[in-house]
Chain A
């Protein structure tokens, strides 16, 4: 039996405090890339009661994703935007989720992400990470960006940090552990980085801008 929307919102307000929950509920957050980072970031933000999530990914769920991404075996082959939206709505039935099954480019970035208070860069590819970072920070003057670099391998979880680079740009990760160079990504370390990103998003929404 799924609780009513009022019961749901009352429960969140009891957990987070009414004022903070109001901020979370009013917010729009875009998650760009729905892999190990993005699927975990979106899960954390949906649980926290962020009002609207914009999910962007052009890819489909693959067997090689399941060791670290928040999908299920039966979802292999489905669009990640559809599969994740389904999973998030099982967790948080009153979240508003906008799925964009597209590849973000320099040209379409501003249009696709319009209305987001915060953008999470959660891509796998280093060039795509840099492209999104440069576009959001130079073409979307009112938007915050929380990006990630360096979370592969078995290095210490404590090496993953959040750094504030500018007033609107936060970077999470150890900044050096390249997935190809260190040989793959582990669920736990990717989740640490995703949690850093999701937590920084919630801090920004709460008006706490320091790391």
Chain B
């Protein structure tokens, strides 16, 4: 299982970019933390989600 924003999902083996494509996140408005590190945007298509991974997708909203 892969935990994303606190919810466990069957995503092991999938790339990060493939997972994000199944969501409503706007790729230009997010930062992704994986196991304590921010994933560089250029690596989204190379990072393969592993069993036990813990991710947080931070999706920014406007206002400041």
Binding site for B on A (CB under 8 A): 33, 35-38, 122-127, 129-131, 133-134, 137-138, 147-152, 165-167, 169, 171, 175-181, 185, 190
A179 touches B33 (CB 8 A): no
Q: What's the Cα separation between A33 and B56 when bound, in Å?
A: 25
Q: Residues on B close to A: CB < 8 A? A: 26, 28-31, 33, 36-38, 40-41, 56, 58-64
Is A166 in contact with B37, judged by CB distance below 8 angstroms? yes
- Establish whether residues B30 and A169, one from each chain, have CB atoms under 8 Å apart when the complex forms: no
CB closest chain-A residue, reference B35: A166
List, in ascending order, chain A residues with CB within 8 A of B30's CB. 130
Of all chain A residues, which has the CB nearest B40? Answer: A138
CA of A130 to CA of B38 in the docked complex: distance in angstroms?
12
- Cα A36 to Cα B62 with chains together (Å): 12
Closest CB in chain B relative to A25 CB, distance in Å:
28
By a CB distance below 8 angstroms, the chain A residues around B41 are 134, 138
Chain B residues positioned under 8 Å from A181 (CB to CB): 61
Contacts of A38 in B (CB 8 A): 64
Residue numbers in B under 8 Å from A148 (CB-CB): 64
Would you list 16 pairs from A and B whose C-beta atoms are within 8 A, ordered by A residue? A123-B64, A130-B31, A131-B28, A133-B58, A134-B38, A134-B41, A148-B64, A149-B58, A149-B60, A150-B63, A151-B64, A165-B58, A166-B33, A166-B37, A166-B38, A171-B58
Q: Are A129 and B60 in contact (CB under 8 A)?
A: yes
B64 with A37: CB separation less than 8 A: yes
Q: Which residues on A sit within 8 Å (CB–CB) of B28?
A: 127, 130-131
Interface pair B61/A165, CB less than 8 Å apart: no
Cβ–Cβ contact A124 & B63, under 8 A: yes
Complex partner residue of B61 from A33, A134, A138, A149, CB under 8 angstroms = A149
Task: Please tell me which one of the listed residues B37, B38, B40, B62 contacts residue A126 in the complex, with CB atoms under 8 A apart.
Answer: B62
CB distance from A210 to the nearest CB of B (A): 15
Note all chain A residues with C-beta closer than 8 A to B61. 126, 149-150, 152, 175-179, 181
Chain A residues near B62: list those with CB within 8 A. Answer: 124-126, 152, 178-180
Nearest Cβ in chain A — how far from B9, in angstroms? 19
Report whether B36 and A178 are in contact in the complex, using a CB–CB cutoff of 8 Å.
no
Q: Is the CB of B58 within 8 A of A33?
A: no
